[in-house]
Amino acid sequence: METIGFHYVVEAAGCDPKILTDASKLREIFLESAKVGKMEVKASYFFKFSPTGVSGMLIVAESHISIHTWPEKRYAAIDVYTCGTTADPEKAVDYILDKIKAEYAHVSEIKRGIEEDDDTFTHMILTWEESLDRRNGNGNGKKDENGETG
């Protein structure tokens, strides 16, 4: 089944509130995540709200990466959408989650632009949850189904 794009919708919880408040730091993280995910950055804009919170976006040749933060809740809503097959959006997502020190992520991968026989398009959604142990510094922090950190 061929798809035009991959869209990752991420609910990140238990994040570092200092990072979620810092528009410059988030821009830095997102620019590096684009490199890690093999994406070509075209433009970026990050806005800090008063008293807290940031909304930011990278426009990449492959589509976009965005974030909206609620530091007081230690929560971030993240979007990574890429067209084609040259980018690696999942690596970009993993990089961002690591750098904002998320302890938990609910991820939905949406395969978009699946062409139907009648010249219409649909999508398919795969969803998973990850507990990310940032306290021990071992491995990637992801826990398997037995609760073991890898």
Q: Could you list the active site residues?
A: 63, 68, 83
H runs (alpha helix) in 45-126: 89-99
Cα distances from 46 to residues 27, 34, 55, 94, in angstroms, run 7, 15, 6, 20
> Cβ distance 4 to 112 under 8 Å?
yes
d(CA 8, CA 59): 15
Q: Kindly state the greatest CA–CA separation across the chain.
A: 52
Length of the chain in residues, anyone? Answer: 150
**Cβ neighbour number for residue 85 with a 10 Å cutoff:** 11
